[in-house]
Amino acid sequence: MLSSLSPERRDVLAQLARFIISGGIVTALGVGVYAIVALVLRWHPQFGNVLAYLMAMATGYVMHSKWSFRGHGSERTHATKVRFVTVSLISYALNSFWVWFLFTYLQWGRAAPIVPMLFVTPAVTFTLNRQWVFR
């Protein structure tokens, strides 16, 4: 089945598989930090979101540039790093929105933002990383 795909499609699938693994690790670290701060320590969820963002950004660039998108695009430059930070800030803004909307506005509880943090935000960051950061 994979052999019937074009080389470009196979590359995209390989990148997606690597992104799912490394992004899963980065997301799990971030959600873990969020959960500890918001659910265990019962501090404000946005503080947990800030700490989760810092954790994810610190590990995400290395994992994605060295493994997830290896061999994709040109050499990693200062511009690549700036674009990665921009996507990281978009990711942070999305997760901040989930916390505000689900916890603060809808008052669904501290755990409610975790679902879109696990599924929506990673889908957006994969697309932006592949199409813009590591092109």
For 27-95, what is the HEC assignment?
A: HHHHHHHHHHHHHHCCCCHHHHHHHHHHHHHHHHHHHHHHHHCCCCCCCCCHHHHHHHHHHHHHHHHHH
42: left (phi over 0), alpha (psi -120 to 50) or beta: left
Q: Are 99 and 49 in contact (CB under 8 A)?
A: yes
- Report the pLDDT value the prediction gives residue 74, as an integer from 0 to 100: 59
Low-confidence ranges of the chain (pLDDT < 50): none
- Answer whether 0.75 is exceeded by the pTM: yes
Give the list of residues 6+ apart from residue 25 with CB closer than 8 angstroms, or none.
Answer: 59, 63
The whole-angstrom separation of Cα 21 and Cα 93 is 23
Task: Identify which of 83, 91, 95, 97 has the alpha carbon closest to the alpha carbon of residue 134.
Answer: 83
Q: Provide the residue ranges of all domains of the chain, joining segments of one domain with +.
A: 2-133
- Report the pLDDT value the prediction gives residue 73, as an integer from 0 to 100: 62
Q: What is the pLDDT of residues 67-102, one digit of tens each?
A: 888 877 656 788 988 998 999 999 999 999 999 999
Show the tokens assigned to 76: 């990693």
- Report the pLDDT value the prediction gives residue 27, as an integer from 0 to 100: 87
- Report the pLDDT value the prediction gives residue 85, as an integer from 0 to 100: 92
Instruction: Give the other-Cβ count within 10 Å of 50's Cβ.
Output: 17
- Report the pLDDT value the prediction gives residue 58, as an integer from 0 to 100: 86
